[in-house]
Amino acid sequence: MIDPGDRLSLAEHGVVTRDLPQPPPLRVTPRTALFLDFDGTLVEIADHPDDVVVARALPMLIDALSRRLEGRLAIVSGRSLAALDALLGPVKVAMAGSHGGEFRPSGDDGVLALADPLPPDVVTELARFAKANGGLLVEPKPFSVAVHYRRHRHALEGLLTCAGEIATRRGLTVKHGKQVIELAMPGSDKGNAVARFMALAGFSGSVPLFLGDDMTDEDAFHAVAASGGDGVLVGAMRPTAARWRLEGVAAVHEWLASALEATPDA
């Protein structure tokens, strides 16, 4: 447990500003549910989204954990489901992609849309800005569009202004992640995705944990807290609604793998 003096009240502030302890070992019980972000949590962030390296053992680890949890494991990512499938291969686990705009209740189910498709002209407008400002990487998704400024940090102020104007005109949400600005349709929200999973029969009544590294994961941290669970921040400390922290991707893999080595709890 955390000393009360080291944690601000979620009810009052919603964030923790002092450093957090490591989470206790993951216990696989009939009441455990696990939600995992992808970039920065399961894989290291790369300069280009296509350049991430998926550890050879990761798909097997995720699949094995999902089976031990009887399906109460879901990946909740800003990436599209198509991109996640291409990177992870045929792992049959529940997923929410595009920040929750795409929803797949289990590995054997079809994809449900939790948001309306992004209008193509939004991508066109951002692509025009990107081209005029040094060629920023524009990543269209079914329910959002991301603009990566990692190699063009000078363009951030203008990008924020451009994205904000588009969002106001079109009723979109602006998400600011690690070196990326994203415009998303209403309904594309990791917190909404977690809440939707928790309403399913397979997840209902469980105690959820969410692991994530970015500001876009804060909605999910609040969502699991509302269901009696907790968040685990991955990476450097920052203001957060999470309760615990792991140092990075390698620590996440070790923490997850240790649960498979332990004897299942009754």
The structural domains of the chain, ordered by start, are 29-114+188-259 (3.40.50.1000), 120-184 (3.30.70.1020)
| 198 vs 264, residue with greater confidence | 198
Instruction: For residue 5, give the DSSP letter.
Output: G
Q: What are phi and psi of 201, to 5 degrees?
A: -60, -40
Query: What whole-number distance in Å separates Cα of residue 30 and Cα of residue 41?
Result: 24
* Average pLDDT, integer, range 154-169: 94
pLDDT digits (tens, 9 = 90+) for 105-127: 987 778 888 888 899 999 999 99
- Catalytic residue (one of 3, 37, 116, 217): 37
Which two structure tokens, joined as six digits, stand for 80?
């599209």
Q: Mean of the per-residue pLDDT values for the chain?
A: 89
| 48 vs 95, residue with greater confidence | 95
pLDDT digits (tens, 9 = 90+) for 172-183: 999 888 889 999
> Residue 55 burial by CB count (10 A; 0-12/13-18/19+): exposed, middle or buried?
middle
Percent of the chain past pLDDT 70, that is, above it, reads 92
The pLDDT, as a whole number, for residue 109 is: 72
From its phi and psi, is residue 235 left (phi > 0), alpha (psi between -120 and 50) or beta?
left
37 is known as an active-site residue: yes
**Residue 102, SS3 per DSSP:** strand
The pLDDT, as a whole number, for residue 254 is: 97
